[in-house]
A and B are shown apart, each in its own frame.
Chain A
């Protein structure tokens, strides 16, 4: 088999093998080093990290080289490579199918392993650091092995193939395919780091807050990239798929959302542990859940199990991920049980009206949310297994259940930021929420003036107003006290993230509830009207290149600018892909798609028009979340832990 793949195949597999062996030895060195505190062994750990990173870069570069040189001796290049794919999309073609995306996982994971090794280089003798490195190596070894055996991207292809179809047409249509997968993976794979430290804390028995504080930035980093990656995916869906939506609740999307939900719960509840030493078991469980959901999500979406239960035995990768999932769960739960006595914390939560109680409520909501998404995703499997019939659980189910959860979360976002730790009185609440409540009332009146209707969207706008007021209150108090430093640190950066979330909630509420759509049969040079806009077909043109034939309708919108929704036929694959054209503005997008059938010589075209209110605020909210996350990573000003929470923060101390 190796003989027939040529240089790339052999070299690539060799890199993977070296990576696997390096990871196994690295794990071995880390574990023995940690157990015996043997300095000589411990010194080897970073070298193995360098080795596996080099191996993963080598394997990835080999794959890129094979793709760029169109080495059709490889099955993977035959599947997603083509001479006619433009260079940019050809580069991204490497991660456009299963084997290549696992290879990218390997690369990102090895990168994280090396980064952690560099970060702990001076305290590698600390058992918690070397155990964590050991866990990173074990996970890396698993992925090297998956890439070597069941998801081998360097397998030999059928002989005599000289060209291929190229990647899925949807993946050579928009530049976002370059960024969305790598950024999402930086988040998805990044949760391995806090997980590794959680396991190390359990093994060493040092389950106090030290490891939490130490890995805080890693968690935020991974969470930030996961958030950003998911948002980029939504943007891609909106710009490319042509149904005008940003989120379809399909299993692959849910697989990325699940760890995001538990991760979000974690970055909130961890504050309670840092502050009060409570919720130790819960926080470790959330990290375990987040990491194992990345594995479970990959199993669900990449094994073919969700398309049909019967495809399960045919797909090699499924059983590997299922086994890994089981191992992670058994080991973690076993360790938590073993360390049960040390995980018990002495603290109590004094009052249901306190910051920590609000964080608890937040966690309950996120846990229920995660359960809903997981249940909806796997429910068709359960029904098929028990009753051998097929059902679908789709967007309407998730929408219906996530609306009340989202509203409850917005309510918490309104109240929690003004709550003090320990205990609040209703008077405090009444004082501090006074102006935020006015913001909410203002938002409600404003949305009614603009013609909004329906309970759920109106509640979204009103609660969004209160939450925004609560977040702005915190930021303005902090900046008044500390100047620009009032914008950094977790509490303040977190409020900026909240503002982004609120914008997203409002944008989703508006665009889901108040979209308008109409199909227009346009005749050339005759103006049609819909929802206060005019549409005039100027021309229908055809654009050909060596991979596709594209028909574009040139539509003049509101007499100002021409938009060109298109249908592109990818000749090699024989697939039609619609490309929407969008006019964006701060109030509403005008989203145009060209409907089949299309003829280039005709002087008419069927156009579907969507009016999507406030959609642009989704992307602005995302940007705000990204900015807030960066601000939260910067160290803010803190009180000494021994000072009462009511003490003012001294100026001039960091």
Chain B
């Protein structure tokens, strides 16, 4: 039993080390196209509902896509700067990810609040159930059962 426990411990340790190692190694350099794909999948196609520029084949999306491609090809701006530039040029509603300020922050905060709240409800339910456990039979109860069983046998 003891050996098994140490195997478990070793397993967790190895898995932890591997995860840390894997999480920190990169996947090599991105191609230009991959940079364009990543940027455009965070930009909203202005004429569609909720589709990204990356997905959309609409004309308006095509315009933004080629602008992003131009910027990436020029190689002068970082990803963040390109996003800023596109937002400035095409207007604020071009972002597909809501910001974390003002009313828009609610879309991030509410899920967390709901998750925390439901976990709280779950834990308090368990606490309540723990307190509510049916009482164990007293000596008298057991006497009654024993008597009843005797009667049935005889």
A residues near B, CB below 8 A?
241-243, 245, 248-251, 306-307, 348-350, 352, 357, 360-361, 364, 367-368, 371-372, 375-376, 379-380, 382-383, 386-387, 389-397, 400-401, 430-431, 434, 437-438, 440-441, 444-445, 447-448, 451-455, 458-459, 462, 514, 516-519, 576-578, 608
Contact = CB atoms under 8 A, between A and B. Distances in A.
B68 interface: no
Contacts of A306: 49-50
A441 B8 CA distance: 11
Contacts of A401: 111
A352 B125 CA distance: 10
Interface in B1-41: 4-5, 7-8, 11, 14-15, 18-19, 21-23, 25-27, 31-34, 37, 41
A-B complex: 3 closest residue pairs judged by Cβ atoms: A394-B96, A392-B44, A455-B23
Nearest to B119: A364
A389 B93 CA distance: 9
Contacts of A390: 93
A392 B32 CA distance: 26
B126 interface: yes
A444 B33 contact: no
A441 B4 contact: no
Contacts of A434: 4, 7-8
A444 B19 contact: yes
B15 A375 contact: no
B42 interface: yes
A250 B19 contact: no
Give the interface size bracket for B toward A.
35 or more
B49 A364 contact: no
Contact of B49 (A307, A368, A440, A516): A307
Nearest to A352: B126
A386 B102 CA distance: 12
A589 B21 CA distance: 28
B129 A348 contact: yes
A368 B25 CA distance: 32
Contacts of B22: 444, 447-448, 452-455, 458
Given A394-B44, A397-B97, A438-B11, A383 B103 contact: yes
Contact of B114 (A352, A371, A400, A458): A371
Contact of A361 (B7, B23, B122): B122
B18 A444 contact: yes
B88 to A, nearest CB: 17
B19 A372 contact: no
Interface stretch (B51-59, B74-82, B135-143, B146-154): B51-59
Given A391-B104, A430-B8, A517-B37, A348 B98 contact: no
A390 B51 CA distance: 14
B89 interface: no
Contacts of B125: 349, 360
B111 A375 contact: yes
B110 A375 contact: yes
27 contacts: A245-B55, A248-B55, A250-B50, A350-B133, A357-B126, A367-B118, A371-B111, A380-B50, A382-B103, A391-B93, A392-B96, A394-B44, A394-B51, A395-B55, A395-B96, A396-B96, A397-B97, A401-B111, A438-B11, A444-B15, A447-B22, A455-B23, A462-B15, A514-B27, A516-B34, A517-B33, A518-B32
Given A364-B122, A392-B93, 15 more contacts: A248-B55, A349-B125, A360-B125, A361-B122, A368-B114, A376-B107, A393-B98, A395-B41, A397-B96, A397-B97, A434-B8, A455-B22, A516-B34, A517-B34, A517-B37
A412 to B, nearest CB: 13
Contacts of A514: 27
Contacts of B21: 448
Contacts of B51: 248, 250, 394
Contacts of B64: none
Contacts of B98: 379, 391, 393, 397
Contact of B33 (A251, A383, A455, A608): A608
Contact of B18 (A367, A400, A445, A517): A445
A516 B31 contact: yes
B97 A396 contact: yes
B103 A462 contact: no
B115 interface: yes
A447 B27 CA distance: 13
A578 B114 CA distance: 42
Contacts of A444: 15, 18-19, 22
